[in-house]
Amino acid sequence: DYIAMAGTKITIPLNPAFMSLNLAQCVLLIGYEWYQANDSTPENQIRVGKSRPANREEYQNFYDRLEKELDVAGFFVAEAMRPTMTHNLQAALQRAEMTEQELRTWHGVISALIDGPKRGAGKKNG
């Protein structure tokens, strides 16, 4: 009787070998689908241009270069802390979900820091 009086009926496709859900599973599924249908959270990144996401090899090449230059600069003072510091750097880079263009820009930043002051050095914008 209650089903006949319902304003909306919901069907959930299930595995034929396991055709039942308990109440908690039903509440979880309905809550999740309702959330997904009404989620207006913007994407975590703004993509500019047509640059594709950087792949694992590009990230690794960038990280290898960064680590090499940090070595040259004497960044890893405490050798015992090196594994933790390198892990933190790699994790932060991966979380950034950069595009290949963004990684190329960071390569340029490293080059600028290595090369030192150039023409126009000391000028400030604004």
pLDDT digits (tens, 9 = 90+) for 82-97: 999 999 999 999 888 8
As separate numbers, helices (DSSP H) first and strands (DSSP E) second, the chain gives 5, 0
- Distance from C-alpha of 92 to C-alpha of 87, rounded to nearest angstrom: 9
- Distance from C-alpha of 114 to C-alpha of 124, rounded to nearest angstrom: 20
What confidence score (pLDDT) does residue 71 get?
Answer: 94
Give the number of other Cβ atoms within 10 Å of residue 87's Cβ. 10
| Mean pLDDT of all residues in 34-59 | 80
Q: Does the model's pTM come out above 0.75?
A: no
Ordered by start, the domain boundaries in the chain are 2-38, 56-115
Which amino acid type is present at position 45? Q
